[in-house]
Structure 1
Amino acid sequence: MFPALLTALSIVALSLGVLGRQTTVVPKSNFVPLHPASTSSSLQLTLVLPPANIDGLHRALYDVSDPQSANYGKHLSKADVEAFVAPEPDSVKAVTDWLAQHSIHAQTVSPSGDMLRIDIPVSTANTLLAANFTVFKDKYSDVTLTRTLSVTIPDDVAPYLEYIYPTTQFVMPLQPKNPPFEVVTLPPKSKRQTDFCAVDVLPECLESYYHIPTTPANATGNSIGVSGYIDEIASEQDLQIFFFAWRPDVPTPPEFTVVSVEGGITSGQGTPEASLDIQYTVGIATNVPTTFYSVGEPSAQGAIDLVNFLLGLDELPLVLTTSYGFFESGFDVDFANTFCNAYAQLGARGTSVLFASGDTGVYGFEFEGTCNTTVFEPTFPSGCPFLTSVGGTTGFDGPEVAADFSSGGFSNIFPQPDYQRTAVQNYLNTIGTLNAGLFNSSGRAFPDVSAQAVRYITEVNGSFIGINGTSASSPVFASVVALLNDARLNSGQPPLGFINPLLYSQGAAALNDVTSGSNPGCGTQGFPALEGWDPATGLGSPDFDKLLALVSGIQPGFSDEIRHSPSKSVFDAEGDIYHLM
């Protein structure tokens, strides 16, 4: 589920002048300058310093994630990762000395020390950066942003500072939309399986179709994290009602933990997105300890703050699912790389990071609903090569079909990683000149995988509602990964961590290939789902039995014994509530 985050930057110019390194941008026409920012108002700015060895981190991530590597599964320690990302002492000194000349003290906000934060008046920021901070309004909403069209970093500081945010970046904060959702009338219990799975998604439908086990997980150290933003919260009461209705095989509904990050709310009446995410993680990954991370900061910085919070922990969640995102065009290369490198750190330490691919098909759209028909619009951060992007499908009564809103395509920032090049090239060879000129065929392609995305029955404040979106797909696929981790942990194996190299090299046969449907938009058919990888459904949806055989090295059939033999148990929806892009 993804807000229409407006495309932000159309021109970026970098120059090295007598005053230093200058960055100048021209925002798109939807951002209208209102007035100069009050000189006494406060700005919170984050300064990002160059990491010592980011290429080394990337190599280490691939080394522990490639099943052909002798180091597969030997995930890095917290200290190992921080050593790759920590800035050089000269960088820290140059930047802090520069700030001290202006009587500014910076706070370190990342575990490795590569991010510093300052709170300063606009007047000081204007002087420090040779800037002119102005209040801009998005003409399609009530959102205002305080930004500048130009910043200058002194020559003696520029080599030691990658960028400062928010200055020239026009990334919209996450914004909820509130269309009416559908209240579902329940049929008698005796008809629920037959009636419901034909049109709706319930735990039993997913368990049956994807062969997901129902007996509780029991491995020590297993965990799953769920990201939450914009005051979304799930309630224990809603979860209990959901379990009583749809998981009667679990006598005591599991609980989940809520952790506040940057002032995120920790209680209140359940809201649709958070309820969906929790009910289809706790309700699918039965008994896997689940934590809901409630992030109070709705801007892009909030997503970075969450990763920094997690990286500061000694024990990370083994799986992290996020149902929120942005449009890629709002990000410059440096800002996008900071996000992507943060997820690389999580992966290197053994966390499987999954993101919903989005609900806008191949096209982004503005708040007023008009389309940019000159180029396809990739979502963000699905274009990052160090995470797993999850698209959407529909249908239980036969082979799945691509959900027509499933976002997918090719990044305009990140190049195509080696692990997916063969699969993507096969697709490009098949479609020939289709959509030629509308996408970057050499970019990182997404989604990687997919799962059901239409009419998830969700309990919210006493009513069952149906919700659509890939923000349902991501929690479900994340739950499958968590259950696979449970089997691995119980057999003395490490968690899966970054799963893309495994999926693209060996996993396609363990997934349900989706070969029908497409993700159209704005008068185009989008990308059709075809045999093999495609930009609508990725490599396909999960088959737990086959995936379990793959990740544990056991023969097919043993997983069925695990699922149904208690003595040998290892572990046993129309809604579009938010468009979060």
Structure 2
Amino acid sequence: MVRSCFFVACLASLSGVSTGFARTMHTMHRREAPPSGYVRSHTAPGDHVLDLRLALAQNDFPGLEERLLAASTPGHQQYGQYLSKDEVSALVAPLSDTVSAVREWLASHNITSTPLSPSGDIRTASVTVKQANELLGAEYSVFTEQKTGAQTIRTLSYSIPEELRGHVNTIYPTTQFPPAKRSKSSAVISRARFPARDIPDSCTHSFTPECAIELYNIPSNLPAQSKVTLGVAGLKNYSVGYNDLQIFLQKYRPEVSDTTSFTIQGFDGYVNDQSTIIATEPNLDTQYTVGLVSPTVPVAFYGVGTDTSNSVIDEMIVLGNALLQQENLPSVLSVSYGLVEGLTDQATTATVCNLYAQLGARGVSVLVSAGDFGLEGGEDPTRCKEFQVDFPASCPYVTAVGGTMGINPEIAWDQDSSGFSSWFPSPSYQQSQVQAYLKTLPAGYDVGRFNVSGRGYPDISSRGAFTEIIVNGEVAITNGTSISAPIAASIFALLNAELVAAGKSPLGFLNPFIYAHPEAFTDITEGANPSCNSQGFNATTGWDALTGFGTPNYPKLRTAAGLQ
């Protein structure tokens, strides 16, 4: 796994400029080999078109982070005072010198760019592979994923002129690889519906919205609150089924009108094609959000990508910037997509993470699934050395949601991804809890296999195993924290609706609130995620690197949020 840049100097000719000299180049990122599971097939065609994204240096991200934490920390005099679209843009916009320098560099290669973000800190340029190779001193090749045969065009190294060092944070797609195709366990079954207002034993092995309502004491009769919206991220151009949602509501929430649905906003070419086979991921995301928050909170589905998209990172950036351009944002955003940190580079993950910070500064609670493949990240366990870290769960500006299973007691799901970021340091709001947990590990536990100074995740948990959904008209059981995030997001969307109805601000970035109020969660103290030739991390009293603080208890969350 590549964890940092190697700085070397090389020479590259300026394309289209007869200056008689060559620029000194600075290597931004280099891989010695493609990530595990990929092999190089051949040189990429020179006329293939790439949409390059250039992330430029922001003028005052520390200032934005300061305002984010002030608005999100209970007891702070600025608590609940979120920034406007223009205020956020002013803090992250690049300096004019940066924009000019980048434009001149691109122009010297006959390339033009346009802003992708509202602040202009991310720009996009359509270039051929031949142009990209000349611009970046790169060697773009076609790489094949061994398990599926899927192909992607990437380079193992790229550079920028030395004088642009400090102006450009990252460029992609370059050395960032898509996540390998990883399937979740699901099976089509049929069964009778659970009796109402009870937690039957069957919730242990087959979970429905009614189980969630009873287990987490979620209210189901709150009045509609149009000022609060629950957003659902839909990447990879996956289609989401209207008919499946109707069947889901008829079966599991008959008290909610089966005409209840979600709105759709599409970005970067997204089309919700109902003639194709409907994917599991967007169905479970929309069915559990609509199923748990209706009729109180409307749900908005944000679709991103086309059939040719293969970069989750790029789609996250497209979605983040598309939302930041809007005046009215969802109060909560649920994200059930991710990839291993090592598939990309530190600067690119920071670009995505900073987008979530900007959303938080505007009052959006971002909840993401912690991941579903233990400490192996879906890699071959026989070759697993360092613990793999899931991103964006490892971002300190999101709330990472782990998974549980069972009832009485509810225990940790044994396939949870969890642990400590290789790149993001432990933020101030969690340092004492993380240090306390690390002291519970045996002396010398898996030394060198994880970063003891890294951001610990998950922050909280909710059900993630044996969950019922409807896919293409049939009942299916699915496992994974992909279901944990929308369940938790629904709970906080309802809480925000109550806060807004009471004349209060929504919670925004949740983690300072969560770490200040562990009493609002049911502590999960049993379970572990043995993987990567290790015993894994264990659940224990207090915060732990498997279930965080545990699962939400809605009445206790109300009290912690100041609702009577």
TM-score normalised by structure 1 residue count: 0.89
Deviates more, 1:313-322 or 1:126-135: 126-135
Partner of 1:571: none
Partner of 1:533: 543
User: 1:230: Cα distance to partner?
Assistant: 2.5
Per-residue CA distance 1:461-511 (angstroms, 9 max, x = gap):
221111111111100000000000011000000111001001101x20010
Q: Is the contact between residue 174 and residue 298 of structure 1 (CA under 8 Å) also seen in structure 2?
A: no
Match of 2:42, as an amino acid?
A: H
User: 1:173: Cα distance to partner?
Assistant: 4.7
Partner of 1:146: 153
Q: Is the contact between residue 516 and residue 530 of structure 1 (CA under 8 Å) also seen in structure 2?
A: yes
Cα 1:170–1:26, aligned 2, differ >3 Å: closer, same or farther? farther
Match of 1:15, as an amino acid?
A: V
Cα 1:73–1:125, aligned 2, differ >3 Å: closer, same or farther? same
Partner of 2:18: none
Partner of 2:404: 393
CA distance in 2, matches of 1:40, 1:319: 42
Q: Is the contact between residue 217 and residue 285 of structure 1 (CA under 8 Å) also seen in structure 2?
A: no
CA distance in 2, matches of 1:58, 1:189: 47
Deviates more, 1:300-309 or 1:243-252: 243-252
Partner of 2:263: 257
TM-score normalised by structure 2 residue count: 0.92
Partner of 2:98: 91
CA distance in 1, matches of 2:284, 2:141: 39
Aligned counterpart for 2:459 among listed residues 428, 448, 453: 448
Per-residue CA distance 1:383-408 (angstroms, 9 max, x = gap):
11000000001112x12100101111
Q: Is the contact between residue 229 and residue 298 of structure 1 (CA under 8 Å) also seen in structure 2?
A: no
Partner of 1:295: 304
Partner of 2:329: 316
Cα 1:17–1:320, aligned 2, differ >3 Å: closer, same or farther? same
Deviates more, 1:300-309 or 1:128-137: 128-137
Q: Does 1:237 find its partner at 2:243?
A: yes
Partner of 1:101: 108
Percentage identity across paired residues of the two chains: 38
Q: Is the contact between residue 228 and residue 295 of structure 1 (CA under 8 Å) also seen in structure 2?
A: yes
Partner of 1:166: 173
Per-residue CA distance 1:405-453 (angstroms, 9 max, x = gap):
1111000000000100111111111223233332111100000000011
User: 1:225: Cα distance to partner?
Assistant: 0.6
Deviates more, 1:336-345 or 1:461-470: 461-470
CA distance in 2, matches of 1:348, 1:539: 24
Deviates more, 1:130-139 or 1:441-450: 130-139
Q: Is the contact between residue 364 and residue 372 of structure 1 (CA under 8 Å) also seen in structure 2?
A: no
Q: Does 1:185 find its partner at 2:195?
A: no
Partner of 2:124: 117
Match of 2:508, as an amino acid?
A: G
CA distance in 2, matches of 1:225, 1:254: 15
User: 1:197: Cα distance to partner?
Assistant: 2.1
Q: Is the contact between residue 363 and residue 371 of structure 1 (CA under 8 Å) also seen in structure 2?
A: no
Cα 1:333–1:251, aligned 2, differ >3 Å: closer, same or farther? closer
Q: Is the contact between residue 217 and residue 483 of structure 1 (CA under 8 Å) also seen in structure 2?
A: no
Aligned counterpart for 1:286 among listed residues 288, 291, 294: 294
Q: Does 1:546 find its partner at 2:564?
A: no
Q: Is the contact between residue 231 and residue 330 of structure 2 (CA under 8 Å) also seen in structure 1?
A: yes
SS at match of 1:283: helix
CA distance in 2, matches of 1:278, 1:153: 42
SS at match of 2:292: coil
Deviates more, 1:321-330 or 1:182-191: 182-191
Cα 1:373–1:131, aligned 2, differ >3 Å: closer, same or farther? closer
Per-residue CA distance 1:121-158 (angstroms, 9 max, x = gap):
22222222222222222333312232223323123333
Higher relative contact order (CA 8 A, sep 6+): 1
Q: Does 1:337 find its partner at 2:357?
A: no
Partner of 1:21: 26
Alignment RMSD: 2.1
User: 1:176: Cα distance to partner?
Assistant: 5.7
Cα 1:480–1:11, aligned 2, differ >3 Å: closer, same or farther? closer
SS at match of 1:552: coil
Q: Is the contact between residue 403 and residue 462 of structure 2 (CA under 8 Å) also seen in structure 1?
A: yes
Q: Does 1:275 find its partner at 2:268?
A: no
CA distance in 2, matches of 1:33, 1:271: 29
Unaligned runs of 5+ in 2: 12-23
User: 1:16: Cα distance to partner?
Assistant: 4.4
CA distance in 2, matches of 1:289, 1:190: 24
CA distance in 1, matches of 2:3, 2:98: 30
Per-residue CA distance 1:227-259 (angstroms, 9 max, x = gap):
112332322222122112111222454221121
Residues 168-567 of structure 1 correspond to what in structure 2 (within 5 A)? 169-173=175-179, 175=181, 177=183, 181-186=187-192, 194=200, 196-268=202-274, 270-287=278-295, 288-296=297-305, 297-299=309-311, 300-366=313-379, 369-396=380-407, 398-433=408-443, 434-505=445-516, 507-554=517-564
User: 1:191: Cα distance to partner?
Assistant: 12
User: 1:163: Cα distance to partner?
Assistant: 2.1
Q: Is the contact between residue 365 and residue 372 of structure 1 (CA under 8 Å) also seen in structure 2?
A: no
User: 1:361: Cα distance to partner?
Assistant: 1.6
Aligned residues: 542
Q: Is the contact between residue 56 and residue 84 of structure 1 (CA under 8 Å) also seen in structure 2?
A: yes
Match of 1:350, as an amino acid?
A: G
